[in-house]
């Protein structure tokens, strides 16, 4: 994927709490740019309260009175408009299929240079959503599928789901929490770089363990240690303990040889 800059665009928003909650969703998914067009509510204490720990987008928001002003001030990019409309007048893509197709086929997203392309995720007001005029301004009209009788999503929830699905399809640097079990395919290589493999082998060999078999003390201990996802500090401490233990074992073995 080419580098992209995420922008969440809220059009004619009615409830200020949804603006705040959208800012929080953006902070969860690594999107920093919040754009408001012709908002219909005040920015209040409740707005900031709904944003909670995700204030960055709200505080640095850009506001425009109209689409004309938006197009004058914002750089050209890929515009994805989200709608629950059934697509009778214009095709509506399911979000996952649209993002996959754009990644594979759309020329703006190919890795042909180092420039970063703006991607605008556009959401309409809470009552009727984006108008036909709004939808005509987008490159793609996108639908977030639902599985119940109610196909209309809360605005902030739609923002969160859209950003989450985009990240799954187009990537990004995932947050890893303390003590979290990371995905094996993402972490095995990085852990192997700091796991004291050779030190552990040497330690076991100094104690005369046979490591030639498929199932041996080394493979069992390594699997047990990595299963608990030790931190870098814990692995560093393990390295220190093993190195000191090796020195003591060698001193003991030398004393035994000298006595003999």
CATH number of the domain to which 140 belongs? 3.40.1280.10
Domain final residue pick, 108, 140, 170: 170
Q: Has residue 41 been placed in a domain?
A: yes
- Are β-strands 33-37 and 78-82 bridged in parallel, bridged antiparallel, or unpaired? unpaired
**Domain presence at residue 177:** no
Q: Provide the residue range defining the domain that includes 228.
A: 184-259
Give residue 141's pLDDT.
93
Give pLDDT, residue 57: 93
- For 161-186, the pLDDT digits (tens) are 999 999 998 888 887 765 555 554 44
Last residue of a domain, one of 141, 170, 199: 170
Among 170, 204, 237, which residue terminates a domain? 170
Chain-centre distance for alpha carbon 127: 30
pLDDT tens digit string along 80-107? 999 886 655 667 889 999 898 888 776 5
Task: Determine the pLDDT at residue 235.
Answer: 76
Which ranges in the chain belong to alpha helices (H)? 16-28, 45-51, 56-59, 67-73, 95-105, 132-135, 155-170, 184-194, 197-206, 217-227, 232-259
Same structural domain, 159 and 221: no
**111 & 238 share domain:** no
Residue 20 has pLDDT above 60, yes or no: yes
Strand, coil or helix: 138: coil
In this structure, of 1-10, 141-150, 177-186, the range with the lowest mean pLDDT score is: 177-186
Same domain? For 230 and 255 the reply is yes
31-78 pLDDT, tens digit each = 999 999 999 999 999 999 999 999 999 999 999 999 999 999 999 989
* pLDDT grade for 12, boundaries at 50, 70 and 90: very high
218, pLDDT greater than 90? no
Q: How many domains does the chain have?
A: 2
Q: Please check whether residues 136 and 207 belong to one and the same domain.
A: no
Apex 78 CA angle, 88 and 120, nearest 5:
90
Give me the chain's average pLDDT, please.
84
Both 118 and 196 in a single domain?
Answer: no
Sequence-ordered alpha helix ranges (H) in 84-129: 95-105
pLDDT at 228: 65
The most confident of 111-125, 148-162, 212-226, 245-259, by mean pLDDT: 148-162
Would residue 175 count as lying in a domain?
A: no
Residue 87 lies inside a defined structural domain of this protein: yes
Token pair 């490159």: residue: 139
pLDDT of the residue at 109: 57
Evaluate if residue 6 carries a pLDDT over 50: yes
Choice between 219 and 227, residue whose per-residue pLDDT is larger: 219
Please state, for a pLDDT cut of 90, what percent of the chain lies above it.
Answer: 43
Q: Which residue has the higher pLDDT, 206 or 61?
A: 61
Q: Which residue has the higher pLDDT, 134 or 191?
A: 134
In a shared domain, residues 195 and 99: no
């Amino acid at each position: 994927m080419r580098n992209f800059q995420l922008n969440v665009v809220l059009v004619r928003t009615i409830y200020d709490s949804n603006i705040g909650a959208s800012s929080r969703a953006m902070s969860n998914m690594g999107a920093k740019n919040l754009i408001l067009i012709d908002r219909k509510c005040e920015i209040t204490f409740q707005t900031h309260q709904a944003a909670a720990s995700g204030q960055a987008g709200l505080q640095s928001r850009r506001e425009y009175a109209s689409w004309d002003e938006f197009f004058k001030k914002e750089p050209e990019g890929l515009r994805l408009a989200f709608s629950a409309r059934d697509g009778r007048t214009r095709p509506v893509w399911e979000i996952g299929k649209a993002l996959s197709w754009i990644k594979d086929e759309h020329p703006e997203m190919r890795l042909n240079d180092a420039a970063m392309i703006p991607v605008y995720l556009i959401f309409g007001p809470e009552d009727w959503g984006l108008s036909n005029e709004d939808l005509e301004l987008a490159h793609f009209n996108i639908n977030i599928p639902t599985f119940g009788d109610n196909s209309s999503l809360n605005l902030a929830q739609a923002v969160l789901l859209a950003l989450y699905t985009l990240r799954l399809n187009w990537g990004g640097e995932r947050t890893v929490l303390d003590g979290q079990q990371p995905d094996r395919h993402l972490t095995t290589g990085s852990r192997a770089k700091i796991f004291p493999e050779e030190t552990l082998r040497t330690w076991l060999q100094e104690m005369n363990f046979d490591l030639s078999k498929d199932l041996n003390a080394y493979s069992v201990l390594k699997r047990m240690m990595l299963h608990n996802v030790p931190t870098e500090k814990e692995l560093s401490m393990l390295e220190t303990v093993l190195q000191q233990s090796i020195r003591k074992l060698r001193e003991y073995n030398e004393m035994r040889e000298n006595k003999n």
